[in-house]
Amino acid sequence: MRKEFNDTGVCIKDEHFMVDTTLKIENIFDLIERKKYFIMNRPRQFGKTTALYRLYEELLTKDDYLTILLSFEISDDDAYEDADKFSSHFVGKFNDRLKFSYPNQQIFIDKNFETDKVGFAKLSLQITDFTQKVQKKVVVLIDEVDKSTNNQLFLHFLGLLRNKYLDRNLAPFLTFHSVVLVGIHDIKTIKLKLRPDEEKKINSPWNIAVDFKVNMFFNPAEISTMLLQYSTEKNIKMDIKTLSERIFYYTSGYPFLVSKMCKVIDEILLPEKENQTEWDLTDIENSFKYLVKDNYTTTIFDDLTKNVDNNPNIKKLLINILMAGLKIPFVTSDQTISLAKVYGMLDTDERYCKIHNRIFEQKLYNHLLVGMIIEGKYNKLSASSDVYSTYEGTLDMPKILRKFQEFMKQNYSQKDAGFIEREGRLIFLSFLKPIINGRGFDFKEPNIGEERRMDIVITYTTNIYILELKIWRGESYHQKGLEQLSNYLDLYNQKEGFLLIFNFNENKESKEENIAFGDKNILAVWV
């Protein structure tokens, strides 16, 4: 069977090119060995179910373990009607999986324990009876628990497991050896999903769980294992170490994005190349550009933007980070920050919030910016690209910056400095978007520090333009900014750059200056 990079469902070794996650599985198994209860909670398409299946396969090889893999994506509409039906449903699913995984195992949880009415009290006794008869370490793996976390019966079920866990030292086989839940939300923070009037229902049903600290990101070395497999099987030449590091640079190791970037190269870009036997850095760059295009979407990107639109607080948080360049402390107790992290949008640099990866950053940036333009918040000027392009298909960047300088003077001269500092970047980005739409796109690299700068890379037809937006903080910061822009130009092998400076000094003036900085020519425009 021809292998491929997988971007849907569970990864299968014989069908897909896969990262070697052996060390991750070993770390998860170590928690099980130590009789821990925990939830493997990570954002969507983070490889949770694939890791669960690998863990399950590993546990099946252990003679002293008996492992049951379940899913709580319950299809029966009446399963949550009452405790009897919930318990009966659990027992039925448990026994079905037991028959499938251990066809020679003759001991089952008794579904008809005295009567057809099981209930939680009888379910607790059944679990004890089963584990005592089996005399093995019984591990229960439950996928898709998010489908049930809004339901009080599920919380009662967790409470049952908690109580049995606390009493398990009374006998060696009193309850399950380990329970692993898999979902997006941490059960300890499910209050983020409940309505205010439901929060009173929560009574720490899973406070026995240990924190799941296994790093599920793919680091460059792990990405290399997948590229090596691909390179060997398809006879593709590549600098595996360099390409792995560049893939990580754009994805921050988000499993779906790692596979997706590779899939785009293999199935879309490579067939169009003259040399179809080699990958290089240009392929990685083009894959990134392909994924962040405004008109490209996939399920994970749809979920990303849907979660922004459905949560005004998250939307405001992202605008402050992405557009205004604010440094927001990463406070896990803040519900908005916690929820944005659950959705995979945010990460932390140990102090401040940052967008998890450069692909999400660009998709969110585009979504927010287009939304603002549609709302009419910043579109006082509408211009086509024809006004600012040449016959050779290049952008007249000096003309664009001068026109924006004039535009700001005419439309925002009466606004206070605080407004321009907050909104200036948004105004420019909204000004730029219609100009390049259709023939190019812009992507950003935020480098927000004390100098409050933002690097923007504009691609238009086959040309690249590097533009830095910054706030005037004095001559020393200006020189530092020129050096940073020069270094950034080197990354793209460019000798010409552009600097747009927002000046809030009382005696400010609109001006421009051509600056020779080393071997670079930089046009600086003040507004």
Q: What is the pLDDT of residues 114-170, one digit of tens each?
A: 445 668 888 898 899 888 888 899 999 999 887 776 677 888 888 899 889 988 877
Cβ-contact 294, 370 below 8 angstroms: yes
Show the tokens assigned to 10: 């569970």
What pLDDT score does 201 carry? Answer: 46
Question: What pLDDT sits at residue 196?
Answer: 46
Report pLDDT for 116. Answer: 54
Spell 143-158 as b/e; 16+ CB within 10 A means b: bbbbebbebebbbbbb
Strands of the sheet with 38-41, listed across from one edge: 38-41, 178-183, 137-143, 65-71
What does the pLDDT read at residue 486? 92
pLDDT (0 to 100) of residue 435? 83
- Dist. CA 283–CA 265, nearest whole Å: 6
pLDDT at 293: 83
What's the pLDDT score for residue 264? 97
Q: What is the pTM of this model?
A: 0.83
Element (H, E) at 468: strand 463-471
* Separation between Cα atoms, residue 212 and residue 205, nearest integer Å: 17
Question: How many angstroms separate the CA atoms of 12 and 183, rounded?
Answer: 20
Q: Which two tokens stand for residue 111?
A: 């579904």
DSSP bridge pairs for 40? 182
Question: For position 412, what pLDDT does the model report?
Answer: 72
The upper half-sphere exposure of residue 507, i.e. CA atoms within 13 Å in the direction of its Cβ, equals 0
User: Which pLDDT value is given to residue 452?
Assistant: 53
pLDDT beneath 50, residues of the chain: 113-115, 191-203, 448-451
Sheet holding 511-517, edge to edge: 440-447, 453-460, 463-471, 496-502, 520-526, 511-517
Task: Give CA–CA dist 138/64, Å, rounded.
Answer: 9
Contacts of residue 268, defined as CB under 8 A and 6 or more positions apart, other chains included, come to 290
The pLDDT score that the predictor gives to residue 428 is: 85
Q: What is the pLDDT of residue 208?
A: 85
Q: pLDDT tens digits for 382-438?
A: 555 567 877 677 889 999 999 888 888 877 766 666 666 667 777 888 888 878 876
d(C-alpha 250, C-alpha 234), whole Å: 24
Please give the pLDDT value at position 438.
62
Q: How many CB atoms neighbour CB 510 within 10 A?
A: 14
Phi, psi for residue 267 in degrees, rounded to 5: -100, -20
314 vs 373: CA distance, rounded Å: 19
Q: Which domains does the chain have, with CATH numbers?
A: 22-201 (3.40.50), 220-292 (1.10.8), 296-377 (no CATH), 384-527 (no CATH)
Report the distance separating Cα 70 and Cα 94, nearest Å: 7
| pLDDT at position 431 | 83
